[in-house]
Amino acid sequence: MEILRIVLYSHDSLGLGHVRRNLALAHALSNQLPLLTGRYVTGILISGTALAPGFDLPAGWDWVILPGVEKSPAGYQPRRLTVPMQDLVSLRAGLIQSVLEGFRPDLVVVDRHATGIHRELEAALRRARAAGPVRTVLGLREVLDEPAAAIAEWEKMGGAPLVKDLFDAIWVYGDPAIHDPVAAGEIPHSFTKLIRYTGYLAAGRPPGSGKLSVQRPYFMTTVGGGADGHALASMAAAADVPAGVRHLIIAGPQMPARQITDLRRRAAPGVRIAERLNDMVLHLRGAQAIVSMGGYNTVCEIMSTDVPALIVPRIHARSEQRIRAASLASAGYLEYREINTLTPGILSGWLARRLGTRVDRRQARLDGLVRVPQLAADLLQPVLRGEASSAASSSREGAAHAAI
């Protein structure tokens, strides 16, 4: 069986959301594309976080880790290297271009930022498309930001002409009945012909191995990567929990060590603190209730369960988490509260009301991890037919030459 080559890119400046989303896609594409196309899958995940290799990869995949960037009040800056930002961008751009030229992918999926950090991806995509055949996709979470901020970002990176020039499709990983970023003004209407709504990347995420054993019943607090999750985690740790109920707090691998130490010092009996899980879905399903920040991946994992959830979104940098939480709360799938209105007492009251109840989320479109491989197979058909035609033509030419 022939091989399909796939590259999934994420820039990764804050948190683990981008790389976790691409990992979910890598597993889904590897599992389903062989049945849809008759081709095995091999792939490369390009990431900007050194934490990425800690996650399990599908067979046939590997990592390329770019030198890291982080956000500062002045914009992006090198995370570790002591070099000017323009030098770091040039280095990252050269690495990306080398990967695409050397690996020659059939499909490239770019997560969220169409041209990467400071347009580091643009030249590599143009060269790959010129060399062809390759299909390129821009993958977007269902909420970008407040409309004015989102549109300004589109314009800054080149606007509609550039996006239409670089991409064959835009996949929006959400349910437009809950939140439609085009109708909301976050994505230009001129992109409509490229857009396909996939549904949330929720159902079908691997449950994991269950290595961390937690005695039931328990409720769970999770704060994503953890870089800005200490305030919520410490408030949850201070909440009163009904007798006999344990509390599992996932601090996140990016929470500073001093903050994790502080959480452990505050922890009451029955509170267990872990820095990370390789089986988040399994533990979410087993919980009696969930308190969480509002990142895309964690919300998708929550939506794949019937466990009641209170979302406390990040309120700085972007409005993304607040918009997502409000949209899902309006649809009746979870509850949300901003952290400046939350207290341990309010959280205790919520837990007393919600522990052990169930939420029906089956009306939401949660099958994005099935829909994406189908969209990929459809998009790749001209490429695959072209390769087949080329092979047949070469065979005929070879036979004719032999006859002469």
pLDDT at 403 over 70: no
* Enclosing domain of residue 68: 3-202+366-395
Q: What is the mean pLDDT of residues 371-400?
A: 69
pLDDT level of residue 261 (50, 70, 90 thresholds): very high
Q: Is residue 213 part of a domain?
A: no
Q: Is residue 253 part of a domain?
A: yes
Inter-axis angle of helices 17-37 and 368-403, nearest 10: 50
Residue 294 has a pLDDT of 97
Please, which residues bridge with residue 70 across strands? 77
Looking at the structure, do residues 19 and 163 belong to the same domain, yes or no? yes
Buried b (16+ CB within 10 A) or exposed e, 263-300: beeebeeebbbeebbebbbbbbebbbbbbbbbbbbbbb
Looking at the structure, do residues 379 and 266 belong to the same domain, yes or no? no
pLDDT at 107 over 90: yes
What residue spans of 78-170 are helical by DSSP H? 85-103, 122-131, 147-156, 159-166
pLDDT level of residue 387 (50, 70, 90 thresholds): low
Q: What span, in angstroms and rounded, lies between the C-alpha atoms of 51 and 299? A: 21
Looking at the structure, do residues 169 and 45 belong to the same domain, yes or no? yes
pLDDT level of residue 74 (50, 70, 90 thresholds): confident
CB of 200 within 8 A of CB of 265? Answer: no
Residue 44 has a pLDDT of 98
Between 143 and 396, residue with greater pLDDT: 143
Residue 320 has a pLDDT of 96
Looking at the structure, do residues 240 and 347 belong to the same domain, yes or no? yes
pLDDT at 231 over 70: yes
Residue 146 has a pLDDT of 96
pLDDT level of residue 401 (50, 70, 90 thresholds): very low
Q: What is the mean pLDDT of residues 287-315?
A: 96
Looking at the structure, do residues 152 and 40 belong to the same domain, yes or no? yes
- Alpha carbon separation from 134 to 7, 10, 47, 102, 149 (Å, rounded): 11, 18, 20, 13, 31
pLDDT level of residue 398 (50, 70, 90 thresholds): very low
Between 207 and 275, residue with greater pLDDT: 275
Looking at the structure, do residues 263 and 197 belong to the same domain, yes or no? no
pLDDT at 396 over 50: no
Residue 220 has a pLDDT of 98
pLDDT at 200 over 60: yes
Q: Is residue 319 part of a domain?
A: yes
pLDDT at 135 over 60: yes
CB of 225 within 8 A of CB of 50? Answer: no
Q: What span, in angstroms and rounded, lies between the C-alpha atoms of 169 and 180? A: 17
Residues 6+ apart with CB under 8 A from 158: 114, 115, 119, 122
Looking at the structure, do residues 390 and 299 belong to the same domain, yes or no? no
Q: Kindly state the helix (H) or strand (E) to which residue 376 belongs, with its residue range.
A: helix 368-403
Looking at the structure, do residues 128 and 222 belong to the same domain, yes or no? no
Q: Please state, for a pLDDT cut of 90, what percent of the chain lies above it.
A: 84
| 206-220 residue pLDDT tens | 767 667 888 999 999
pLDDT at 400 over 60: no
Residue 209 has a pLDDT of 63
Q: What span, in angstroms and rounded, lies between the C-alpha atoms of 39 and 122? A: 28
pLDDT level of residue 326 (50, 70, 90 thresholds): very high
pLDDT at 402 over 50: no
Residue 210 has a pLDDT of 65
Q: What is the mean pLDDT of residues 51-72?
A: 94
Q: What is the mean pLDDT of residues 391-400?
A: 39
DSSP 118: G
Residue 267 has a pLDDT of 87
Q: What CATH number corresponds to the domain at position 163? A: 3.40.50.2000
**Mean pLDDT value across the chain:** 92
| 165-183 residue pLDDT tens | 999 999 999 999 999 999 9
Domain count, the chain: 2
Looking at the structure, do residues 187 and 147 belong to the same domain, yes or no? yes
pLDDT level of residue 41 (50, 70, 90 thresholds): very high
Q: What is the mean pLDDT of residues 74-81?
A: 94
Least confident among 123-127, 212-216, 248-252, 377-381: 212-216
Q: Is residue 48 part of a domain?
A: yes
Looking at the structure, do residues 52 and 183 belong to the same domain, yes or no? yes
Looking at the structure, do residues 197 and 229 belong to the same domain, yes or no? no
Q: Is residue 207 part of a domain?
A: no
Q: Is residue 379 part of a domain?
A: yes
Residue 393 has a pLDDT of 40
3-class SS shares of the chain: helix, strand, coil, % to 5: 45, 20, 40
Looking at the structure, do residues 131 and 229 belong to the same domain, yes or no? no
* Burial (0-12, 13-18, 19+ Cβ within 10 Å), 62: exposed
